Amino acid sequence: MNRNHQRVCASPEWAAQLVSDVLSPLSAGVPLGPELLEIGPGPGAATEWLRSRVRSLIAVEIDPVAAQALRARFPDTNVEVVTADATELPWPDASFDTVASFTMLHHIPTQHGQNAVLAEALRVLRPGGVLLASDSRPSDSLHEFHAEDTYNPIDPAGLIARLQTIGYGRLIVEVGDRWMVRAHKPADGERIR
């Protein structure tokens, strides 16, 4: 993350906006289950809100400095922070009820890598589990915001096909100022036509 990101993503205003515009609407009516994996938590804007809705939250963060800061923010809680690359998650298949990832996928430099993150999320989900994700839409201003930083935004127009090709079942994509997706791993025996 560059300095712009650190400033914005660590602010209370960002956390409040993430809750009101993304987390609340995206998770409305969705049972999150006891075990949630958050991918790319950064300073933890979503972590704080999500952790009070599940029994345990594991956050996987590639940046060891950000991971250590998040550990220090949530000592002796239901949050465990693991330093790892989400393109190769260090958990067996079907380990989590929910996988959540916000404002993160544009940091993956290639489409192949983004698909690997989405595929790993599907792999570690239990059958019937759900991926909740969102990110910004591509824009010139965000390109400038990411000066000297990775900026590989996802065009939401192709997202449904990408998720279906990877193996997700029922899914909803909403596109406004940003895109948001709720995508289910097919339950055992469920057939998606």
What is the Cα–Cα distance from 115 to 95, expressed in whole angstroms? 19
Q: Is 37 in the site for ligand SAM (CB under 6 A)?
A: no
Nearer to ligand SAM, 9 or 180 (CB): 9
What is the Cα–Cα distance from 59 to 120, expressed in whole angstroms? 14
- Sole binder of ligand SAM in the list 45, 50, 133, 154 (CB under 6 A): 45
Q: Is 36 in the site for ligand SAM (CB under 6 A)?
A: no
Nearer to ligand SAM, 108 or 181 (CB): 108
- Sole binder of ligand SAM in the list 46, 131, 154, 166 (CB under 6 A): 46
What is the Cα–Cα distance from 104 to 68, expressed in whole angstroms? 18
- Sole binder of ligand SAM in the list 50, 60, 166, 183 (CB under 6 A): 60
Minimal distance, residue 42 CB to ligand SAM, in Å: 3
> Which whole-number Å values give the CA distances from 133 to 77, 123, 159, 180, 185, in the listed order?
24, 16, 11, 6, 14
Say if residues 125 and 116 touch (Cβ distance below 8 Å). Answer: no
The pair phi, psi for residue 77, each rounded to 5°, is -125, -170
CB neighbour list of residue 158: distance below 8 Å, 6 or more residues apart = none
Minimal distance, residue 180 CB to ligand SAM, in Å: 12
> Which whole-number Å values give the CA distances from 69 to 55, 65, 81, 114, in the listed order?
22, 6, 10, 25
- x/- binding map, residues 62-101, to ligand SAM, per CB under 6 A? xx--x------------------xxx--------------
Count residues near ligand SAM (CB under 6 A): 23
- x/- binding map, residues 97-126, to ligand SAM, per CB under 6 A? -----xxx--xx------------------
> Strand 178-184 relative to strand 35-39: parallel, antiparallel, unpaired?
unpaired
Per CB under 6 A, residues contacting ligand SAM are 1, 5, 9, 18, 39-42, 45-46, 60-63, 66, 85-87, 102-104, 107-108
